[in-house]
Structure 1
Amino acid sequence: MTRTMPIAKHVIYDILWVTVEKAEAPYIMRLSCDVDCVNRALATHNLKKAGKSSHAQLSIGRKPGNGPLKENTLYIMLCTAKDRNGTKYPIKDNIMQVFTKFVSEGKATIRLKQPEQDICISKADVIQLKSFLNVLRQALQGKNLDSITLSSLAPASAKNIEKPKTNLVITTKRDYPLTKNFPMSLESLQVSECRMKRIDSRIFNLRNLTRLDLSNNSIEIIPDEISKLQNLSELKLAHNNITIFSPSVCLKESLQKSLNLLDLSNNKIQKLPLQICELVNLVNLKFDNNEMEVLPPTIGRLHRLQFISACNNKLRTLPASFMKLRLDSVDLFGNSFDVIENYQISAGSVDVPTLVECAARSIKKSRVPYSEEDLHLHLCRYLDSARQCWCGNYCFQCSVRYTSKVDLRRVASTVTAVDVQGGTGVPVEGFLCSPQCLKKFQNNPNAYWK
C-alpha cells in the first residue's frame, strides 16, 4: 500500500492503517488497557526485565499551559496506579514503529526512539484501540487536528487507572445492580439468593464471562441467549425451579466448544434432552436431586466427561452407552434401580424396518439437524425417541430391548455406592437393531464391539 506521510523516512510502519481508519468510534484520545514498558537497551547488555504489565491509561494531548495546539506539542502520556501524574513521550519524530498484527485481540506495540522503550498494549477494547491508533496516525502524518478536541494532559483519576473488575459476587437482592450495568470486564459472576425468576438479559452482554453461577434463585427457563457467552466454561444453576433443559441451548456451537462444567442440581428436571450429548467438551456434569427417570441414550458420546453426579433421582436403569465412559468419579446414590441378576431380553422385533424408520435411522446417523420449523411435530418427537444400538447405529420400533447388570467400577476410578448395602452394580438398558447384533449379544452380553 502506498502512503504519503510528511514525516521522516526512517519511521517504519507495519500497521494496516486502513483497518484502523475503519474503527467504529471516531476518535479516542484516552485508552484504558494493560501496559508493559520494555526497555530495549537491556537486551544489548544481555539483561532481561521480568515482564509484568499493569493497568494504565494512555492519552494523546498537549502539555498544560501551551499556546494554540501545534504539531510539536502532542504527547503520549502513560498513567499508572504508581504514577498518576504520568510520563509524557513526544510524538513527532519519536515513534519508530507501530506493531498491530494482533490489534483484533486488543494488542499493539508502540516503539519509541527516546527513551529506547516499547509500549506494549494488551487487554484493550478492540474498537477503542483502533480509534486511539487512528488519532496517533493522524498526528504522525502531520494532519490538522483542530477538528478533534484534544484536552490538556492531566493526571489520571483513580477510577481510570484502577484494574478492571473481573470477579463479582452478589448474595443479597439489595446489592443487585438495577440502575447501572455489570462491568464489561467481568470473567466470573455469581448471583445467588436474589429470587431471580429469569436470567437478566444484561448478563448475556458480558462477552468475557467464563464462570456464571446463578444458584439459589427461582429461575424456570434457560434462554437461548445464553449462547452469546462464547467463553463460558462453567454454568451453575443449582437450587432453582428449572423443569425443562431446552434442547436448542445444547445446539449452540459456542457452548459446545467452551462449556466444561454444568450443574443442574436441585431442580425439577424429569428428562435431559438427547441434544445435551452435543456438549462434547463437558468434563463435570451434576444433576443431583431432580426427578430424572432416564438418561440420554447417547450419553456415551461425552468422551471428555470425568465426573458425573446424579444422586437422589428416579433412575431405574442406565443406558448402555454409559459403559463407554471413562470417569474419575461417579455418584448415583439414592436412585430406584431395578434388581436384576444377569441379563434379560425383552420381547421385540429385529425384522425389516419400515421406510419411515429407515429414513429416521439415516437422519440420526448423518446427524442432520432438524426442528419443528422443518418437520411436523410428531416427526420431531419420533426422531427424538431414537435408541442407539451397541454397534453405534440408531433404531426405533424395530429393535430388541435388553437389560444386564454391570459394575460401575468398570467405568470409574472412584465409585460411590448406589445403596446403603454398599453395592456398585447397576442395571443397564440397551437396544439391538438387527439379528446380527442380537446374536452377538447372546454370545457375550458383556462385550462391546464399538
Structure 2
Amino acid sequence: MRIKCEMDIINRLLPSLNVKKGGKGCHTQLSIGRKPQTDSKEGILFLMACTAKDRNGAKYQIKDNIEQIFAKFINEGKATIRLKDPQQDLCLCKADPLQLKNFLTLLRKASLGQDIERISLSTLAPASTKSVDKPKTKMSVTSKKNYPLTKSFPSLLEHLHISQCRMKKIDSRIFQLKKLIHLDLQENVIEELPPTFSQLTSLRELILSTNKIQTLPSSLCLLPNWKETLSLLDLSNNLINLLPIQLCELDNLVTLKVDHNKLETFPPTIGRLKKLKYLSASHNKIETLPCSFMQLRLEHLDLFSNPFADVTKSDLEETEWQVPSLVECCGRMIRKNRLPYSDEDLHTHLCRYLDSARVCWCGGFCFEGCVRAMTSFSLKTLSPTVSAVDLQGRTDVPVLLFLCSPQCQRKYKINPYAYWR
C-alpha cells in the first residue's frame, strides 16, 4: 500500500543535544510492505519512505516499533507517526485524507501484529522518479506548438499561464484543475466565458486581458466561488461595453482592470465593492460616474483618456413627483434587500427591469420614479494615487445621480456635495 505526501523527519534527541532541526519537508512516497524475495507470510513488515534524494528509501520496522500515531488533523491530510527506534517523528502533510486514514489503519494493525494478509502490500522496491518528484504546481505555455494536446494538465496545478496560443474557447480540461488559484489566459482570441468556471472552486485570480470578449456573463459573478474567493479580475483590452450589475456581488474583489474596452459607465452599485483597492479603466468611453462610485476607498485609481463631460456646477432636473407604481415599489424592495433573482424565477422582462435599477443619492434604489442630477467630484478624495483623466491634469469628473423622493430632492438642493456614504 502506498500514499504520496510531504514528510518532515524530526529527531527527538536533537533538543537534548541543544541542536536545532533544520530543513523542510519534501515530497515522499510512503509504502507498507516486505522486502523483495521474502516469504509473503513470514517476512518482516517495513514502512519505507522514498524521496527524490533517496529513491531506495529509508526503511523502518513496523511491528512493536510504532510508539504513537497522532491523527487529530487527519481530515486536513496531516498526521505524525512516532517511532521507537530510531527516535524520530515522521510528520506528514498534504496527503489525501481518505488514503491517509486507510494507510494509518493498516499501519496500526501491522504494528500490533494483527493479520493483514488479505490486504495487498507493496513491494519495497526503489521508487520511480515520477513517484517521488514534487508535483508540478506551475505551468506556462507561451506558444501554440507547446500546447499540451495529447498530454493532460498536471492535476495539482495552482498557477496556469497560457498566452499567444490563438485559443478561441477555454479548454474544458482546465476546469478539471480543482487546485487552480491563478489562471492567466491573456493574449488569445477568446470570445465567450463558459459557465463551467463554477468548477474552479479555488480560483482567486483571473486574467483575461487582450482577448475578444464582448460580455461578462452575469451568471459568473453570482457563482459562489467567484463571490467568496475571487480577488483579481483583469478584463483589459477586450470589447466589453457594459459590466453587469452582478459584478458588485464579488465581495472579495481587490483588483479590477478594465482598461481599453468600450465601457460607457460603471454599474450603479459599484460602491458595494468594499474591498476594492486597485481600479483601472483607462481608454474607455465613460462620460459620467454613478454616485455610488464615491463610496469606494481605493489605493490606486486610473481613469485616463475617457471622454468625461466638463461640469462646473450642479444640474438638477425639475419635475413633478408622482406616486411610485406597484412594480417600482416591489422592485425597490427586492434590490434593497438584495434578494436573488434569475430568469428561472421571474419573466425575462422583469429581470431586465430589476437590472436597470438606479441608485439614489441616499443609497436606496429607484427606477422610473426618480429625478436626475449631475454634479462634479474630485477623484483625489477617493485614492491617494490618482491618474489624471486627461493631458491637462484634470481630476474632477462628472457624477450622475438620481433622487428617489421629494425628501432627497430637498436635501440635495440644500447641499449637493453631501454625498451618501
* SS, match of residue 122 in structure 2: coil
- Structure 2 unpaired stretches of 5+: none
Match of 1:30 in 2: 2
TM-score by length of structure 2 reads 0.96
Match of 1:344 in 2: 315
User: For each residue in 1:335-389, what CA deviation from the matched residue of structure 2 results, as whole angstroms up to 9, or x when unmatched?
Assistant: 1112211111135554321111111111111111011111011100100001111
| TM alignment of 1:10-409, pairs within 5 A | 29-45=1-17, 47-50=19-22, 52-70=24-42, 73-140=44-111, 142-348=113-319, 350-409=321-380
Distance 2:222 2:90 in 1: 42
Provide closer, same or farther for how the CA distance between residues 391 and 245 of structure 1 changes in structure 2, counting only shifts above 3 A: same
User: For each residue in 1:174-197, what CA deviation from the matched residue of structure 2 results, as whole angstroms up to 9, or x when unmatched?
Assistant: 211122221111110001111111
Distance 1:215 1:349 in 2: 51
* SS, match of residue 121 in structure 2: coil
Moved more, 131-140 or 103-112: 131-140
Provide closer, same or farther for how the CA distance between residues 260 and 420 of structure 1 changes in structure 2, counting only shifts above 3 A: same
Deviation, structure 1 residue 51: 5.5
Whether the aligned pair in 1 keeps the contact of 2:65 and 2:111 (CA below 8 Å) is: no
TM-score by length of structure 1 reads 0.90
Matched pairs, number: 421
Distance 1:90 1:349 in 2: 90
Deviation, structure 1 residue 135: 3.1
Moved more, 189-198 or 144-153: 144-153
Deviation, structure 1 residue 211: 0.6
* SS, match of residue 214 in structure 2: coil
Whether the aligned pair in 1 keeps the contact of 2:3 and 2:103 (CA below 8 Å) is: yes
- Structure 1 unpaired stretches of 5+: 1-28
Deviation, structure 1 residue 143: 4.3
User: For each residue in 1:125-176, what CA deviation from the matched residue of structure 2 results, as whole angstroms up to 9, or x when unmatched?
Assistant: 2333233234324434544433333232011122211111111000111211
Whether the aligned pair in 2 keeps the contact of 1:349 and 1:398 (CA below 8 Å) is: no
Q: Which amino acid aligns with 2:26?
A: S
Distance 1:395 1:130 in 2: 56
Q: Which amino acid aligns with 2:413?
A: Q
Deviation, structure 1 residue 102: 1.7
Q: Is residue 413 from structure 1 mapped to residue 379 from structure 2 by the alignment?
A: no
Distance 1:118 1:51 in 2: 14
Deviation, structure 1 residue 213: 0.1
Distance 1:384 1:347 in 2: 26
Provide closer, same or farther for how the CA distance between residues 36 and 251 of structure 1 changes in structure 2, counting only shifts above 3 A: same
Whether the aligned pair in 2 keeps the contact of 1:350 and 1:433 (CA below 8 Å) is: no
Distance 1:69 1:430 in 2: 83
User: For each residue in 1:189-230, what CA deviation from the matched residue of structure 2 results, as whole angstroms up to 9, or x when unmatched?
Assistant: 001111111111211121211110011111112222212222
Percent of residue pairs bearing the same amino acid type: 55
